[in-house]
Structure 1
Amino acid sequence: MLAQQRTSIRERRSLRSYDGSQLALNADTALDIRSDSKQRLIQVYRGEMLVKTAQDPTQRPFIVQTGEGRVRALGTRFSARQLTEQTRVGVLQAAVEVNLHQHVERTLRLNAGEQGTFDRDAVDVASPLPLYRACWASMTGGWTLSSKSWDAIALAYCAASVQGLSISGAFRIDDTDTVLENLSQALPVRVHYLTRYWASIEPA
């Protein structure tokens, strides 16, 4: 209740920390932002955040701390989620290094496209990061249309003739229906729903 930054169970929020790093807070999240001359620290008590770190002129390390350990950013964009007695980290860009509170000798490096879960005693091996892990945040263009990239926001098949079309803008990718509707207005494509959860993106 006393955390500096909080979101309710129906709220998501973006903010900028003192050093210029960008944070996106998922629903039901609580954290503190602390900085001193030695480090930049985010203390996560509950929930999930996505962070894009800013360069620091004094080269202070950027640390995300949870109940189980510390995640050190290595010039990166990543997510951290506080689970029940576990922390899950997913790396979208660059890399992070995980250290446990009780066993500092146990470390794990996660590179872009990888995720890992750890508790107070153990660190799982790295595994592939599903693109949908950050779907509650927004996607900002430009990017290109393809079945692989579209998996980040919806289960969709992209016809070969429309793959490679450039997309620009910012999208709330937790609202896939609106994104798909906007897509058909911005590009010469049409969206055909095969089922409620599966769509086909085809030439208009």
Structure 2
Amino acid sequence: MTQDTLSEAEYDAITDAAAHWCMRLHAADCTDEERDAFEQWHAAHPLHAFEYEAMLEVWEVAEHLPRPTPALTAAPRQPSRTWRQYVAVAAACALALPLAAYAGWNLGWLPNSHEHFSATDEVRRVTLSDGSELELNLNTDLTFSNYKDERRVTLKKGEAFFTVSHDLAHPFVVRAGEGKVRVTGTRFNVWMYEDQVRVNLVEGSVLVSSDRALPGDGLRLGPMMQARYKHGDYIPQISQTYPDDAALAWRSGKLVLDNLALNDALPLINRYLAHPLMLADSRTGSLRVGGIYNIKELNNLANSLPKVLPVYLTRNKEGNPVINSMPQQPPKS
């Protein structure tokens, strides 16, 4: 099988495999061995990555469809379908796609447009189909879907600055982690690392919720305010910011650490690193660090830390660098 010439059977096999891996990687019982096998398959051919990304787009849209109400009496269990049968069903459904898409749009179930944007080693500026403008920080991945009753961004990882086009009847919602940010037209920044999310409002007004499953639209932020939340937070933590706040320095290619404890600094640093820095213990985490860094050169930060802090580096069994504080000198007698 070569990249230039693929038979129909080879192409169908790639589509089947992409569907298989999309289902397995979203399954609760997916094993580490399966994930390793997926990585090998994904890297084996350029079309593998292309087909898998296309399958993910379908999966994400399908997640927004309403779930059917279970019947009171369970029907006899049917034999599970093979992957080829799933592909056949998908092909049959495609014949009715225009009518289904029109009905889904009118009911607010399906978007009439779905876009995917990412930035890797450069800050990227994009314009959404609704006219909203976004700046994407390094290592950022998000999607935009335009529904009848709302415009929806899903921030998968990273950070983005939003300048949202005003549309009072068509709210703009950013989903990040387990929470959401709801606006009609404004300028704000959303940062996410693992399960931590931070929202900084520059202009306008937003509603921030730390759990989309809870009723209501959350707490209201005004200009120069910040909301933080993480997994399990019932409500976001709200604080005041200032015109010279360092949270938006990334738009100029900088990371500003203003005398932060390493506990607070590492989430800001690690999102730029291929191998995140780890802390040996809480005492190390209490050490403070400051400075202004180029976001493209943060991979060099780990080696420079022992020059500015009383620390040394080791590596854990996963190969990640670990910061250790120097042993305290016993008091002289």
Per the TM alignment, residue 38 of structure 1 is displaced from its structure 2 partner at its CA by 1.1
Q: Is structure 2 residue 23 aligned with structure 1 residue 23?
A: no
- Do the aligned partners of 1:102 and 1:120 also contact (CA within 8 Å) in 2? no
Instruction: State the alpha-carbon separation in 1 of the partners of residues 221 and 184 from structure 2.
Output: 10
- Do the aligned partners of 2:226 and 2:241 also contact (CA within 8 Å) in 1? yes
Give structure 1 regions of 4+ aligned residues with deviation exceeding 3 angstroms: none
More strand per residue: 1
Q: Can you list the C-alpha shifts for 1:43-85, whole angstroms capped at 9, x where unaligned? A: 10000000011123x7200010112111001421000112221
Whose RCO is larger (CA < 8 A, sep 6+)? 1
RMSD over aligned CA atoms reads 2.8
2:165 maps to which of 45, 54, 59: 54
Identity %: 27
Per the TM alignment, residue 120 of structure 1 is displaced from its structure 2 partner at its CA by 4.0
Q: Secondary structure at the match of 2:247?
A: helix
Number of residue pairs aligned between Structure 1 and Structure 2: 143
Q: 1:68 to 1:11 in 2, by over 3 A?
A: same
2:7 counterpart residue number:
none
- Do the aligned partners of 1:26 and 1:47 also contact (CA within 8 Å) in 2? yes
Q: Is structure 2 residue 185 aligned with structure 1 residue 75?
A: yes
- Do the aligned partners of 1:31 and 1:44 also contact (CA within 8 Å) in 2? yes
Q: Who wins on radius of gyration, i.e. which is larger?
A: 2
Instruction: State the alpha-carbon separation in 1 of the partners of residues 236 and 179 from structure 2.
Output: 13
Per the TM alignment, residue 14 of structure 1 is displaced from its structure 2 partner at its CA by 0.3
- Do the aligned partners of 2:166 and 2:184 also contact (CA within 8 Å) in 1? no
Counterparts in 2 of 1:30-179, with a 5 A limit?
30-56=141-167, 59-99=169-209, 100-105=211-216, 107-122=218-233, 123-130=235-242, 131-137=245-251
Q: Secondary structure at the match of 1:135?
A: helix
Q: Secondary structure at the match of 1:75?
A: coil
Q: Secondary structure at the match of 1:5?
A: strand
- Do the aligned partners of 2:170 and 2:184 also contact (CA within 8 Å) in 1? no
Q: Secondary structure at the match of 2:206?
A: strand
- Do the aligned partners of 2:191 and 2:198 also contact (CA within 8 Å) in 1? yes
Q: Can you list the C-alpha shifts for 1:151-174, whole angstroms capped at 9, x where unaligned? A: xx9x9xxxxxxxxxxxxxxxxxx9
- Do the aligned partners of 2:164 and 2:186 also contact (CA within 8 Å) in 1? yes
Per the TM alignment, residue 132 of structure 1 is displaced from its structure 2 partner at its CA by 1.7
- The one-letter amino acid paired with 1:93 is E
Per the TM alignment, residue 23 of structure 1 is displaced from its structure 2 partner at its CA by 0.2
Q: Can you list the C-alpha shifts for 1:139-196, whole angstroms capped at 9, x where unaligned? A: xxxxxxxxxxxxxx9x9xxxxxxxxxxxxxxxxxx97xxxxxxxxxxxxxxxxxxxxx
Q: TM-score, normalised by structure 2?
A: 0.39
Q: Secondary structure at the match of 2:188?
A: strand
2:118 counterpart residue number:
6
Q: 1:104 to 1:87 in 2, by over 3 A?
A: farther
More helix per residue: 2
Moved more, 87-96 or 127-136: 127-136
Please list every run of 5 or more consecutive structure 1 residues that lacks an aligned counterpart in the other structure: 139-152, 156-173, 176-204
Q: TM-score, normalised by structure 1?
A: 0.62
Moved more, 86-95 or 125-134: 125-134
